[in-house]
Structure 1
Amino acid sequence: MPPGFRRSSSWKRNPTHIFKFIAAAFVLFFYFIFTVFGESPHAPRNGARIQWDGFINGTGVVDEPRAARVVEAMKHTFWTYKEHAWGADMILPVSGHKSNKRGGWGATIVDSASTLAIMELWEELELAVNHIIEGIDFTKTDDLVDPFETTIRHLGGMVSVVDLWDAGIIPKKVISREKRDKIVKQAVILGQKLGPAYDSPTGLPWPRVDFMTSKGVPDPRQEELQEDGKPRYAHPTIGPARAGSNILENRVLSRLTHNPIYFQNSTLACYYEYLLKITLLTPQDRYTPMYKKQWERAVHSLRDNLASRNRPSATYMTQHLFLGKRDDDLDINTQSQLACFAAGNILLGGAHLQKPSFIALGKALVEACHHTYASTPTSIGPEKWAWSPKFGVRDATVTPETERQQAEWANAGFWAINPSFRLRPEYVESLFYAWRITGEARYREWAWDAFVAIETHCKARYGYAGLKDVMVASSADGARDEAQMDESESFWHAETLKYFWLIFADSRVASLDRWVFSTEGHLFRMIR
């Protein structure tokens, strides 16, 4: 008999060995499947691990009741839109009317598709995909096209769905290979139509594109008249924030089509959030070291020049770290909801680059945004607020002017400049990063508090609506309707609800070690 044959025959006498062997084989098999194809929390694609190590031990399990509540909110949002405004860019959630100000291509449908996919709402996703490939003609629109909004909502939404399909997240029985390829085709058409935006002397995109003439044009809202009566444009290009928020979407489109032109169009435009994220998406890019360095310099500058703590009042002694603005040498002590995104971005970079000081800064900024939610009558933060800086009220550009503002400052250390709420995602986005990166349960609780508050005050007959004044709580239905604004942007579906759900989902879903999120909350795969 061949050597070893007799030893193997002992397995027949002891079946336990066989079962152990089979079990070990299954473990190795599924480990291989998850690490190569699935959403394994192990082995980040590049750099240091981003998500908290403790999730490996099961602490990041799904909170099923809360995740289910968010899914119900998404269903209410989708189906009221489907019934009353299908094909329009947005539904007006209080009146049920339609709105078309994003090209008329159904921005809500395209923008929400990646959220439907990760929530596994397959019936809704199939309807959305069918509209994308059959109901949209990206060559036609009655309006000038905003390349920034169109890239982050439409182009980003489509290439994200394709990336999710390629990763096996979307079953082939929901979207066939043929439909997947048709989505890519639509993305290519849109990418080509947006191309003239980058045909400018500076390389920064024009603020608008005329699809009829295939030319980039100034924003007509900036139009002024010269002395001879002819139109002139004071600012025919756009700032770096809007200019740079396209590099991820175009890079993914280049990867999907094997055509570098889309990425080449966007490489001249830099934006701080995306400087970090492009290093995660394409770590081998030759510009990655420059992107990292520039992003780090921006964080240091933000910390040293924009961040300030509030001066305690006679009744509110706690201090929070807010983000102000600079206008030449003038410090402006106001912050908006939009700026709350910075906390999550700094946490992401701090984890990736292993910089504890950045983690501490990001956490402090999250806590400040949380305070603006926790201290209002609605438990929802205002669109814009101000504070008296700790270094002295005489140095403050903005001071409380009304009795209400003085009372708000005395009670909470800040006062509302614009008390509205527009369903913005930035605070929830930063809670998502804080939860996934630190593993601290308080961020899940803060997210739940915010979701319940929005459910209480913003749910409307035809979706979810913004609020006119978060400093006034209205519980009765009639009063609540009066308190709501008849608007609901597509980022409510694409970002706000997505981040809420991901906070309560299993931490292995859309792991930060495998996926990069765009400024509109769309997921793109990290590729070495």
Structure 2
Amino acid sequence: MITAGRLAISLLLASSAIAGPVQAPLIILPPSARTHRDAVVQIFNESFSAYQQFAFGHDDLSPLSQSFSDGRNGWGASIVDAMSTMHIMGLNDLFAQAVNFASKIDFSKSQTPDTVRQGSRSVFETTIRYLGGLLSAYELSNQQFPILLEKAKEVGDKLAFAWVGNNDIPFGFLDFSTNTPQIATSNIAEAGTLSLEFETLSKHTGNQTYANLALKSVTHIANLPAPLPGLAAQGIDPASGNFVGGFVTWGGGSDSYFEYLIKHARLSNTNDNLFADTWHTAVDSSIKTLLRTTTVGNNVFLADFDDSRLIRHTGSHLACFYGGNWLLGGRLLNNATIVKIALELVDGCWNTYAGTATGIGPEAFAYISSDGNFTGPGNTISPDQLAFYEKHGFYITASDYILRPEVLESNFYAFRVTGDPKYLNRAASAVNSFNKFLKTPTGFAGLNDVNDVQTSLIDDTESFWFAEVLKYLYLTFDDPNHISLDKFVFNTEAHPFVAPPAKPVYGTVGGGIRPSTAPFTLRKGPPLPAISPNPKLPKPIMVPPQ
């Protein structure tokens, strides 16, 4: 439910002229924080030791079958993705081994031909994991290892082939052996989540070409007429540069486009207000149109908005990054209303953890608000789901947990912004649940059903377990001055980049609302790519817990 007061305040409260610090001053950690931090390091060491034993050099560990999978070009994604976490945790020997491994990766060709996509791999995933991982490790180690920048440049040079001719929008998949993009529709997350990495590569190489490629993509998207002010449609056709459909979501397929608008403004300190203003407009539109409060529990979520301009009362683990992102942007804009609502969003997403039998949140969920419970044509709520909703204020629509980070990411931001110890307690609860339900004799695995303590496990440890989940948990319990949110900007894979001192102002003073300059036209097109696919596992391998 959106109250008139909340809407009026959100739309009328302009940002202060002076950006505020992101982190709260004088955060005091209790003595127990060190114990919890050490427990996270133990999980990392156990997980990575299993990876070294059964999957070293490959992309991901399969902990139950004690094997491996290669869905990210076979370049050792877990090693590169884990490097920044190793450095932050002070695991110097592992970091040195990872640098040595990365120095020998042959990025000239994919090691994993894919008959489904004819050898093509995701430009987005390669950017956030490999390019982001290499550049962050290079910066965190004070540029002591020039080979990391050299390898990052090799990756960037390959990724540049995704832009064809005069297209502003890159194609989403690229054959890294032939430098040939797959001609297909894409989405704004794939096309608009490249700026932090490409701009950092330009900063260190002195070649502005990389940044220009990424920025022309996000600028193109931000300037298209949108279904709602500031809220771009999810699908986009790189060939025409037009949106495909009119679906709006902060979830998968759109999520990190919105995330990077404000993060690019902060990392670059650009004088172009397009990025901060578009983000601010997207947030205001979301408060006006998408914000929902559940009829049970008063949980706050952001709904989706479909092609028929109907609200879908759905949420996802992926979308739960929004609380942390709104906290970052709200502090940079010094907008107390955005910060307040962001904390409500963090609480709503945390409830999807607190409400399950395992204490771990599901992949997707839905809810009921004052305007109903529509989740899509033909969808209905079962009696069991309704009973669960009446107890917890949400119900589960996809019960698996594949080691995603977003809820804990937002919890980390909430602690750093407020210093409230309740966020430490939540992180500690997650660590306990992970040790209780995800642990196997050879690493950690996902869950098939987060609401069943006897559930089977999923035989896969994605690299973001090392890059994101364990990093955000560790930093929640660590000295807040270490990797401060006022000195670093995280990419969407949790790789921190060194940020310059903050500007006094981000965006246009007074709100910077940028309405669409032309009416939105709904264009149909080919089917969009699957959102956040797990290419290694056509069907999850389910194995009973050990």
Q: TM-score, normalised by structure 1?
A: 0.80
1:126 Cα offset (Å): 1.1
Secondary structure, aligned partner of 2:403: coil
Number of the residue aligned with 2:211: 263
Match of 1:147 in 2: 123
Following superposition, the deviation at residue 54 of structure 1 comes to 2.8
Counterpart CA distance in 1 for 2:106 and 2:85 is 23
For residues 374 and 422 of structure 1, the distance between their equivalents in structure 2, rounded to whole angstroms, comes to 17
Larger Rg, first or second structure (1 or 2): 1
CA distance in 2, matches of 1:397, 1:442: 39
Superposed CA offset, 1:386-432 (max 9, x none): 11112345798686533321221121121110011111000000001
> Percent identity of the aligned residues?
35
Alignment map for 1:415-454 (pairs within 5 Å):
415-454=395-434
Provide the alpha-carbon RMSD of the alignment: 1.8
Q: CA deviation at 1:53?
A: 1.5
More displaced 10-residue stretch of structure 1: 256-265 or 99-108: 256-265
| Alignment partner of 1:413 is 2:397 | no
Aligned residues: 438
Contact 1:465–1:486, Cα closer than 8 Å, also in 2: yes
The counterpart of 1:130, out of the listed 89, 100, 103, is 100
Per-residue displacement from partner, 1:500-522 (whole Å, max 9, x unpaired)?
A: 00000011110011000000000
Q: Does the 8 Å contact 2:314/2:375 carry over to 1?
A: no
Q: Give 2:541's aligned residue.
A: none
Report the equivalent of 1:158. 134
SS of 2:285 mapped into structure 1: helix
1:78 paired with 2:58, answer no
- 2:497 corresponds to 1:524: yes
The answer to whether the aligner puts 1:51 opposite 2:58 as a matched pair is no
Whole-Å Cα distance in 2 between the matches of residues 373 and 212 of structure 1?
42
Superposition pairs of residues 52-451 of structure 1, within 5 angstroms: 52-55=24-27, 58-59=28-29, 63-134=33-104, 136-141=105-110, 142=113, 143-166=119-142, 177=144, 180-199=145-164, 201-218=166-183, 236-270=184-218, 271-283=257-269, 285-287=270-272, 289-312=273-296, 318-328=297-307, 329-393=309-373, 401-451=381-431
CA offsets 1:115-144 (integer angstroms, 9 cap, x no match): 00000001111111110002x100011331
Q: Which secondary structure does the structure 2 equivalent of 1:54 belong to?
A: coil
Contact 2:29 2:479 survives alignment (8 Å): no
Q: Which amino acid counterpart does residue 87 of structure 1 have in structure 2? A: G
Give the conservation status (yes or no) of the 8 Å contact 2:171–2:181: yes
Instruction: Determine the C-alpha separation between the residues in 2 that align with 1:347 and 1:164.
Output: 24
* CA contact 1:240–1:269 (8 Å) conserved in 2: no
Deviation at 1:200, TM superposition (A): 5.0
Structure 1 gaps of 5+ residues are 1-45, 168-176, 219-235, 313-317, 475-481
CA distance in 2, matches of 1:496, 1:393: 31
How far is the alpha carbon of 1:445 from its aligned partner? 0.7
Contact kept? 1:389, 1:396, Cα under 8 Å: no
SS in 1 for 2:292: strand
TM-score (norm 2): 0.77
Letter in 2 for 1:140: K
Matched, 1:499 2:472: yes
Cα offset, 1:112, TM superposition: 0.5
CA displacement at 1:158 relative to structure 2: 0.1
Which deviates further from its counterpart, 142-151 or 392-401? 392-401
